[in-house]
Amino acid sequence: MPQGPYSDIVMDHFTNPRNMGEIEDADAIGEVGSPVCGDVMKLYLKIEDERIVDVKFKTFGCGAAIASSSITTELVKGKTLDEALQLSSETVIEALGGLPPAKQHCSVLSEDALKVAIEDYRKRRGQ
């Protein structure tokens, strides 16, 4: 049964986050913060042949921000960089079974962190 405004999926990803932590020798790091709520999200990518082979996150923020980070890592693991760039905040919200309007910015944060990480990777490689 959902707890308050959050779906069971959000609660599951908040209480049992997937891929939490950092990758020491990450090929890319994306860090973004939200002035709206003070959440900070850091995404680490391990990339081989333009494909995300590992992804971890560290998020300082509310349950919706942690759940958004967690599901984003699951959605992009194994994808090519171009496929990962197709990820939208709407996809994150849908995968979470919805987010309350006041928390939808959290899904935008995870989309932005992913884009910043991929930009970081391409800059490092001179692309």
H or E segment and range at residue 57: strand 51-60
Residues known to be catalytic: 37, 106
Domains by residue range for the chain, with CATH: 8-124 (3.90.1010.10)
What's the whole-model pTM score?
0.93
Confidence of residue 69 (pLDDT cuts 50, 70, 90): very high
Confidence of residue 121 (pLDDT cuts 50, 70, 90): very high
Residue 100 is predicted with a pLDDT of 94
Residue matched to tokens 């913060």: 33
Residue 1 is predicted with a pLDDT of 44
Confidence of residue 3 (pLDDT cuts 50, 70, 90): low
pLDDT, tens digit, 9 for 90 and up, residues 18-66: 999 999 999 999 999 977 778 999 999 999 999 999 999 999 999 999 9
Q: Kindly report the CA angle at 46 between 44 and 49, in degrees rounded to 5?
A: 145
Residue 2 is predicted with a pLDDT of 46
pLDDT, tens digit, 9 for 90 and up, residues 91-105: 999 999 999 999 999
The two tokens of residue 48 are 């081989």
Per-residue buried b or exposed e for 70-82, using 16+ beta carbons within 10 Å of the residue's own CB? bbbbebbbebebe
The two tokens of residue 9 are 């999926």
